[in-house]
Amino acid sequence: MTIPVTETALDLEKTAMARCARRSPFRSWPAWLYFGVFLVSFGVFYIFWCTNNLHDYVQSQLLLRNGTEAMFMWQHPPVDVKTKIYVFNYTNVDDFLHYRADKLHVEEVGPYIYLQKKKRVNVTAGKNNDTLVFQEEKFYEWVGGRSEDDVIVAPNVPLLSSVAFVQDWNFAAHVGLTMMSTSLKKRPFIHERAGGFIWGYDDNFFNMVKPFVQQITSVEKFGILAMTNGTDKSRITINTGTRDITKLGMIEQLDGMSSSYIWGDKRCDKIEGTDGTIFPPNLLENNDTVYIYFKDMCRTVPFKFDGHVTKHSVPTLRYKPSRDMFAYTHEKNKCFCRQKGFSRVCPHNGTFDLSACIKLPMVASFPHFLDADQSLTKYIDGLHPREEDHVTFLDVYPNIAAPIAGWTRFQVNVKVRKVRTVPLLGRLPDGLILPILWLETGIDEADLPQNIMSLLYMLNVTLRIVEVVLQWSSLVGMILSMGALLVCFKKHRMEHPDVGLQMSSVDQNKLLEMS
């Protein structure tokens, strides 16, 4: 038998359901408040505990994109790098050349302190818009230390270079060089102002041989560092990191080539690493070795993790080049030895032959021949290598992989290459390496502008505090809001034990009577 359900019966059922709904804990605003707090806390918890969104956002601001602050700071570095130059003054040249002294004596004169004004100019986008092609512009301004008017006695580099240059030429070239040098009264050492010796001085011998060395240098005056002052002709291609942040700042090409084709070895010729002013942020996560390409050496130098230090109250990672980077007993360095026929001729341990790179008989080393072969001081006196003063290091802030302190320290030397038919160098033995100067380039702790220091403080302290507060407050919020919801449900069950999908007994009786 089917029981007819009247409209009144339906109304009673709706009334009962509405009564149940009114007795639901979510009909009261506290339950919804607790539930909302839980949802918000869970969202914050997920973002700060289970994702790297904040970290990824900070890193995304480092990409070199047009119109960004990172791009502007890369083109116009906000920190003026300081360069300190120390020149070696030869004090007993006449005594040595006339056999009255067994060794040449040198004394370190300096520092001559300069601010390096650097910009990236003629910037263009690469083919796929994920690279930048540019030139570097550097100018040096004297700001302190010893006066550039100091008169020093130093090796006559143009003369020594010319003798080395004609070494493999014919006898006529040897005679011509000898006659020209003799007529100009050129000697193996010169007296010159320190400023001129570094950045360029008038030399009639250099002016006469300049047409023959245009492939080596285009400077109007010869100076040891003259070629580094001004706009570099080389065009450098680096990765912007927009497609792959792990390649940010990596040098991909130099003058359109990814290999230097200098050393005759694929590994040593490869152009890789950064220029030392920018690194991919992920590169430092495991304290890995970082690679810096030194264009003046035509080689990449590995910098190994050395330890944790604190700069500007900010924890940083310190990197140093391997102390054996100029040691040719290691197989990894032998490809930098000069190719001669089917074999390689390696320089003295502790030195690096630059002649293949810059076409001059120049040699690089650590200052004062630190970690170099003892035979280098057989004819040189007055050098005092000290690790604390002469070691290169780089301190990098890990969160954004930005160098905030450090000094690169290298020495420039000239190698004597004697020719039997060119009697211009007197007693100087063939193969002798003469120290010229050493320079340290970098920034002191006090050199960082206040806005940079404030940014580092914000990244290291403020951002970390905010992150930690949001992490733990979201966890506490989840626990408290969940607890409050449970209490709310328990209280509701105690106050309304008959709440469910059932009607009250009164409504059930009414419904039966109507049926």
* Within a domain: 501: no
Residue 391 has a CB neighbour count (10 Å cut-off) of 18
Report the phi/psi class of residue 307: left, alpha or beta, with left for phi > 0 and alpha for psi in -120 to 50.
Answer: left
* Within a domain: 4: no
* Within a domain: 370: yes
Query: In this structure, are 324 and 390 located in the same domain?
Result: yes
Q: What range does the domain containing 484 cover?
A: 30-65+460-495
* Within a domain: 147: yes
Query: In this structure, are 250 and 353 located in the same domain?
Result: yes
Burial of 253 from C-beta contacts in 10 A (0-12 / 13-18 / 19+): middle
Query: In this structure, are 479 and 418 located in the same domain?
Result: no
The pLDDT tens digits along the chain (515 residues) read 444 544 554 554 455 454 544 455 555 666 667 677 777 777 676 666 666 666 666 666 778 888 888 888 888 888 888 999 999 999 999 999 999 999 999 999 989 999 998 899 999 987 777 899 999 999 999 999 999 999 999 999 988 988 888 877 778 878 887 888 787 788 999 999 999 999 988 888 777 776 666 555 667 788 889 888 888 889 999 998 888 888 888 999 999 898 988 888 888 999 999 998 888 876 666 567 889 999 989 999 999 988 888 876 778 889 999 888 898 887 888 889 887 777 788 899 999 999 888 888 999 999 999 999 999 999 999 999 998 899 999 988 887 778 888 899 999 999 999 888 888 888 899 999 999 999 999 987 666 666 666 666 666 666 666 767 776 777 777 787 777 767 777 776 676 665 444 444 555 555 445 54
Query: In this structure, are 224 and 145 located in the same domain?
Result: yes
**Looking at residue 410, what is its pLDDT?**
96
**Looking at residue 3, what is its pLDDT?**
46
Query: In this structure, are 254 and 316 located in the same domain?
Result: yes
368 contacts: CB under 8 Å, gap ≥ 6: 383, 384, 385, 386, 390, 411, 435, 438
Element (H, E) at 36: helix 29-50
Query: In this structure, are 57 and 84 located in the same domain?
Result: no
Question: Where a domain ends, among 393, 415, 448?
Answer: 448
Q: What is the pTM of this model?
A: 0.80
**Looking at residue 460, what is its pLDDT?**
61
Each residue of 168-205: b (16+ CB within 10 Å) or e?
Answer: eeeeebbeebbeebeeeebbbbbebebbbbbbbbebeb
* Within a domain: 95: yes
* Within a domain: 73: no
Say how many residues make up the chain. 515
Query: In this structure, are 347 and 206 located in the same domain?
Result: yes
Question: Where a domain ends, among 389, 415, 448?
Answer: 448
**Taking the chain, what is the end-to-end CA distance rounded to the nearest angstrom?**
12
Q: How far apart are CA 161 and CA 171, in angstroms?
A: 17
* Within a domain: 292: yes
- Tell me which amino acid residue 342 is: F
Phi, psi dihedral angles at 94 (to 5 degrees): -60, -40
Which whole-number Å values give the CA distances from 86 to 115, 293, 391, 440, in the listed order?
15, 24, 15, 9
Query: In this structure, are 53 and 137 located in the same domain?
Result: no
Query: In this structure, are 443 and 464 located in the same domain?
Result: no
153 - beta bridge partners?
191
Cα 272–chain centre separation: 13
Q: How far apart are CA 267 and CA 332, in angstroms?
A: 9
Query: In this structure, are 357 and 395 located in the same domain?
Result: yes
Give the CA angle between residues 184, 164, 93 to the nearest 5°: 60
* Within a domain: 89: yes
Q: Which residue spans within 217-370 are E strands per DSSP?
A: 230-231, 236-239, 251-254, 290-294, 299-311, 314-321, 338-340, 343-345, 351-353, 362-365
Residue 361 has a CB neighbour count (10 Å cut-off) of 22
Query: In this structure, are 51 and 90 located in the same domain?
Result: no
Query: In this structure, are 393 and 467 located in the same domain?
Result: no
Q: How far apart are CA 394 and CA 443, in angstroms?
A: 10
Which whole-number Å values give the CA distances from 137 to 71, 147, 163, 332, 348, in the listed order?
16, 25, 32, 33, 34
Which whole-number Å values give the CA distances from 97 to 101, 106, 428, 474, in the listed order?
8, 14, 8, 80
Number of domains making up the chain: 2
